[in-house]
Amino acid sequence: MTVLEVEHLSYAYGPVHVLKDVSFKVEKGDFVGITGANGTGKSTLLKLILRLLHGSGTIRVMGDEHFKDYSKVGYLSQKVTTFNSDFPATVDEVVRANLYPKIGFLRRYSGRKFGAEVDRALAMVGMTGYKHHLIGELSGGQQQRVFIARMLVAEPEILLMDEPTVGIDPKSLAELVELIERLNKEGMTILMTSHDLHSLRGANKILTLEDDGTAFMQDAKGYFAEGADHHGHI
Ligand SMILES: Nc1ncnc2c1ncn2[C@@H]1O[C@H](COP(=O)(O)OP(=O)(O)OP(=O)(O)O)[C@@H](O)[C@H]1O
What are the C-alpha distances in Å from 127 to residues 81, 117, 145, 222? 16, 13, 7, 35
Q: How far is the CA of 143 from the centre of ligand 1 (A)?
A: 24
Q: What residues form DSSP beta bridges with 191?
A: 32, 160
Question: Helix, strand, coil proportions of the chain in percent (round to 5)?
Answer: 35, 25, 40
Predicted confidence (pLDDT) per residue in 164-176, tens digit: 988 888 888 899 9
Pairing relationship of beta strands 215-219 and 205-209 according to DSSP bridges? antiparallel
Q: From 192, 191, 231, 193, select the one nearest 211 (Cα to Cα).
A: 231
- Tell me the pTM: 0.90
Predicted confidence (pLDDT) per residue in 178-218, tens digit: 999 999 999 999 999 999 889 999 999 999 999 999 999 99
Task: Say how far apart CA 76 and CA 63 lie, in whole Å.
Answer: 23
Q: How far is the CA of 150 from the centre of ligand 1 (A)?
A: 25
Determine which residue's CA is closest to atom 4 belonging to ligand 1: 13
- ipTM of this complex: 0.97
